[in-house]
């Protein structure tokens, strides 16, 4: 019995993703308490990393690491082989229209997504834009007096403003949008660790890409021993042969797995809702501050 | 400095002035002056040799000076603190006092009267952590600051609260710069004064104090609008407003779309099929 798997992320990309999200979480965790020092959670969060000096250290060096991984990402993917299906095109607009129609029951047909959906493209370029904004403004704010040898103080103030706003925007996009779309809605989505998605997921989430991959024999690899699996490039089918004995033992364990999965989903739901509430609180605070300062 | 005075404020705590002026003496006993063996009479005059047994106001109050007027305050303090009084008399506070604006800050407004504490004492209004509150006492007061002859803005403490200096301190980062670190404590001068620490020409030196931003001396610091937050103008457009409006729209857009699509998605068949 053959099982089809699809390579979605190479090892390199998975490591980049892990470094990027780890630094992102650290930066959000050590950054927002400084912006809102009067909230009760700020004091608690700063205590939890061992005081203000540690907070500053973590924020600065996690920031540097994020800049590093972002630069690496751009350089590596330009040198490797730039791919153009990640750019926006007309089909994204059509997909979006069709998806909205589908949600409002004007059509029964959900759009067939290619390798990247329009939402994923927004998230990707949003992360890119965010990394550039946060990186440059962050460096200006790290050494304001060195920066002021080249720029007037107004630039530092603008950098400060950009840093806060972009932090809120990026955190909303990641902690609510990306978490829901990729991890909560598709729970348990393990492709960020294994790099593969199942045939079923592929058919459902990326129908267009699935058809293309099936019709292209060059993209097929028989991999019986799971050997050298990390050298498999993206987009490629991996056909593995399932051991029937293993299959049987898996069905025996199924109820157990459901229990663990259910528990994991419950924990994840609570964490997800808590983070959503926190993000909404933060957006409320910045919006109120902006309205008080600039509009009223 | 204070000589004698031991009859009135000895280590025994027997202070004859206490019989009538109990509140003042209670306050005074907590002060740094009491700890340094300075007595009531060192400031107020009067005869220290008279004991508490002789209860006669006339006798006890020989050569007594009560509370000094605000303009004469420096005359009291300068008996011991001559050097610092001279510095204070350079300040805008003293100049306004001399002009007859009696609400301008005199020594006691910051340091207290009988209960004067060392600036190293955490309870003191001149302790570095308490300085913003001490200054805000007058500088947030609408009636005082917005008088027709001043017109000083009252948002100085509020704008300071938005700075890294304040936020880092509240978050437990130790005391960074407070009011007096930039504006000077005794020698407070307005921005327009060329000798002022916050005059644009002196800002590099003020920011570049040895314990602060060393090396800031050659920095390219424009203007003196630290509290307001200086902006950059693109033609006639304020860049700060532009950035703020852009992100307000982006965030509202982001929230509406993300939450809207989540809600629509949950109710659609596509999501149901995913979990079949």
Contact between chains at B231 and A180 (C-beta distance less than 8 A): no
Pairing of strands A220-222, A237-241: parallel
A172 touches chain B (CB under 8 A): yes
A240 versus B210: the higher-pLDDT residue is B210
Contact between chains at A161 and B240 (C-beta distance less than 8 A): yes
B250 touches chain A (CB under 8 A): yes
Contact between chains at A204 and B220 (C-beta distance less than 8 A): no
Please give the pLDDT value at position B230.
72
Q: What's A82's DSSP letter?
A: -
Residues 13-42 of A with CB under 8 A from B: 33-35, 37-38, 42
Nearest beta carbon to residue B171 from set A42, A100, A286: A42
Quick one: average pLDDT of B33-50? 77
- Of the residues B132, B216, B225, B244, the best mutation for testing chain A's interface (the one with the most A CB atoms within 10 Å of its CB) is B244
B100 versus A242: the higher-pLDDT residue is B100
Contact between chains at B171 and A162 (C-beta distance less than 8 A): no
Tens place of pLDDT for every residue, chain A, 296 residues? 566 778 888 888 999 999 999 999 999 999 999 999 999 999 999 999 999 999 999 999 999 999 999 999 999 988 887 778 889 999 999 999 999 998 888 888 889 998 899 999 999 999 999 999 999 999 999 988 888 888 888 888 899 999 999 999 999 999 999 999 888 888 788 889 988 888 888 888 888 888 887 777 666 665 544 444 555 556 566 665 444 444 444 444 455 678 888 899 999 999 999 999 999 999 999 999 999 888 77
Domains of chain A: 2-110+117-295 (1.20.950.20)
- Of the residues A157, A166, A295, the best mutation for testing chain B's interface (the one with the most B CB atoms within 10 Å of its CB) is A157
B186: closest CA of chain A, how far (Å): 27
Partners of B250 on chain A (C-beta within 8 Å) are 165, 169
Question: Distance between CA atoms of B275 and A229, rounded to whole angstroms?
Answer: 29
Q: Which of A78-87, A176-185, B115-124, B219-228 has the lowest mean pLDDT?
A: B219-228
Partners of B216 on chain A (C-beta within 8 Å) are 145, 148
Please give the pLDDT value at position A260.
86
Q: Which two tokens stand for residue A111?
A: 């759009």
Contact between chains at A148 and B220 (C-beta distance less than 8 A): yes
Please give the pLDDT value at position B8.
44
Nearest beta carbon to residue A52 from set B168, B244, B254: B168
Strands, E, within A106-232: which ranges?
A: 196-198, 220-222
Number of residue pairs across A and B with CB atoms under 8 Å? 128
Nearest to B171 by CA among A27, A57, A33: A33
DSSP letter for each residue of chain B: ---S-TTTS-TT---GGGGT-HHHHHHHHTSHHHHTT--HHHHHB--TT--TTS--HHHHTTTB--SPPTTTHHHHHTTT-HHHHHHHTTSHHHHHHHTT-TTS--HHHHH-STT---TTSTTSTTSTTTHHHHHHHHHT-HHHHTSTTT---S-HHHHHTTSHHHHHHHTTS-----HHHHH-SSS---TTSTT-TTSGGGHHHHHT-TTSSTTGGG----SS-TTT----EETTEEHHHHHHHHHHHHHHHHHHHHHHHHHHHHHSHHHHHHT-
Q: Quote the Cα angle for B194-A143-A53, to 5°.
A: 110
CB B177, CB B170: distance < 8 Å: no
Q: For chain B, what percent of residues have pLDDT higher than 70?
A: 82
- Of the residues B132, B166, B169, B172, the best mutation for testing chain A's interface (the one with the most A CB atoms within 10 Å of its CB) is B172
A286 touches chain B (CB under 8 A): yes
- Of the residues B258, B267, B274, the best mutation for testing chain A's interface (the one with the most A CB atoms within 10 Å of its CB) is B258
Question: Distance between CA atoms of A276 and A2, rounded to whole angstroms?
Answer: 41
On the question of pLDDT at B6 being above 50, the answer is no
Question: Distance between CA atoms of B165 and B212, rounded to whole angstroms?
Answer: 11
Nearest beta carbon to residue A169 from set B226, B240, B247: B247
Task: Lay out the sheet containing A237-241: strands in order across.
Answer: A196-198, A2-7, A237-241, A220-222
H or E stretch covering A3 = strand A2-7
Nearest beta carbon to residue A153 from set B170, B222, B241: B222
Task: Establish whether the linkage from the previous residue to A188 is cis, with ω within 30° of 0.
Answer: yes
Q: For chain B, what percent of residues have pLDDT higher than 90?
A: 19
B245 touches chain A (CB under 8 A): yes
A151 touches chain B (CB under 8 A): yes
HSE-CB at B271 with a 13 A cutoff on CA atoms is 18
B213 touches chain A (CB under 8 A): yes
Whole-complex ipTM:
0.85
Query: Could you count the other beta carbons within 10 Å of the beta carbon of residue B106?
Result: 22
Contact between chains at B222 and A152 (C-beta distance less than 8 A): yes
Please give the pLDDT value at position B40.
82
Structure confidence by residue, pLDDT tens digits, B7-24:
444 444 456 677 778 888
Question: Distance between CA atoms of B42 and B7, rounded to whole angstroms?
Answer: 12
What per-residue string of b and e applies to A76-104 under the rule 16 or more CB within 10 Å gives b? eeeeeeeeeeeeeeeebeebeebbeebbe
Contact between chains at A46 and B245 (C-beta distance less than 8 A): no
């Amino acid at each position: 019995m053959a099982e089809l798997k699809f390579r979605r992320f190479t090892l390199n990309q998975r490591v980049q993703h892990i470094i990027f999200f780890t630094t992102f979480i650290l930066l959000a965790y050590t950054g927002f308490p400084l912006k809102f020092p009067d909230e009760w959670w700020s004091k608690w969060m700063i205590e939890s990393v061992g005081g203000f000096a540690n907070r500053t250290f973590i924020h600065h060096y996690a920031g540097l690491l994020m800049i590093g991984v972002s630069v690496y990402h751009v350089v590596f993917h330009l040198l490797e082989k730039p791919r153009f299906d990640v750019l926006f095109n007309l089909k994204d607009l059509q997909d979006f229209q069709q998806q909205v129609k589908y949600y409002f029951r004007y059509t029964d047909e959900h759009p067939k997504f290619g390798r990247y959906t329009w939402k994923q493209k927004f998230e990707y370029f949003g992360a890119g834009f965010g990394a550039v904004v946060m990186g440059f403004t962050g460096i200006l704010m790290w050494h304001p007096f060195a920066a002021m040898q080249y720029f007037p103080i107004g630039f530092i103030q603008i950098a400060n403003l950009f840093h806060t706003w972009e932090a809120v925007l990026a955190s909303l996009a990641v902690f609510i949008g990306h978490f829901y779309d990729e991890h909560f809605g598709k729970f348990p989505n393990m492709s960020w660790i294994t790099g593969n998605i199942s045939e079923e997921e592929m058919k459902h989430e990326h129908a267009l890409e699935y058809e293309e991959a099936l019709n292209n024999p060059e993209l097929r690899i028989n991999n019986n021993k799971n050997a050298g699996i990390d050298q498999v490039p993206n987009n490629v089918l991996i056909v593995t042969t399932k051991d029937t004995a293993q299959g049987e033992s898996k069905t025996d364990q199924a109820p157990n797995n459901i229990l663990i999965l259910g528990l994991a989903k419950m924990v994840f739901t609570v964490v997800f809702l808590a983070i959503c509430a926190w993000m909404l609180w933060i957006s409320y605070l910045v919006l109120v501050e902006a309205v008080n300062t600039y509009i009223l | 400095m204070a000589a004698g005075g031991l009859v009135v404020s000895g280590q025994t705590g027997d202070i004859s002035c206490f019989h009538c002026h109990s509140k003042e003496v209670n306050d005074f006993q907590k002060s740094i002056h009491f700890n340094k063996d300075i007595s009531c009479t060192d400031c107020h005059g009067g005869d220290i040799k008279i004991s508490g047994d002789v209860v006669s106001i006339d006798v006890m109050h020989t050569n007594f000076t009560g509370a000094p007027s605000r303009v004469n305050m420096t005359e009291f303090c300068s008996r011991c603190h001559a050097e610092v009084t001279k510095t204070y008399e350079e300040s805008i506070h003293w100049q306004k006092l001399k002009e007859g604006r009696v609400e301008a800050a005199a020594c006691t407004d910051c340091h207290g009267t009988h209960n004067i504490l060392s600036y190293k004492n955490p309870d003191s209004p001149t302790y570095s952590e308490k300085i913003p509150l001490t200054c805000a006492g007058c500088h947030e007061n609408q009636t005082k600051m917005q008088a027709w002859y001043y017109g000083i803005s009252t948002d100085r403490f509020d704008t300071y609260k938005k700075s890294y200096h304040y936020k880092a301190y509240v978050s437990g980062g130790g005391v960074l710069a407070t009011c007096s670190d930039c504006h000077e404590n005794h020698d407070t001068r307005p921005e327009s004064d060329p000798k002022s620490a916050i005059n644009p020409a002196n800002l590099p030196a003020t920011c570049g104090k040895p314990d602060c931003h060393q090396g800031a001396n050659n920095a390219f610091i424009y203007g003196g609008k630290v509290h307001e937050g200086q902006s950059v103008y693109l033609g006639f457009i304020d860049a700060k407003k532009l950035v703020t409006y852009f992100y307000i729209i982006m965030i509202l857009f982001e929230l509406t779309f993300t939450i809207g699509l989540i809600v629509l998605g949950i109710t659609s068949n596509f999501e149901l099929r995913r979990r079949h």
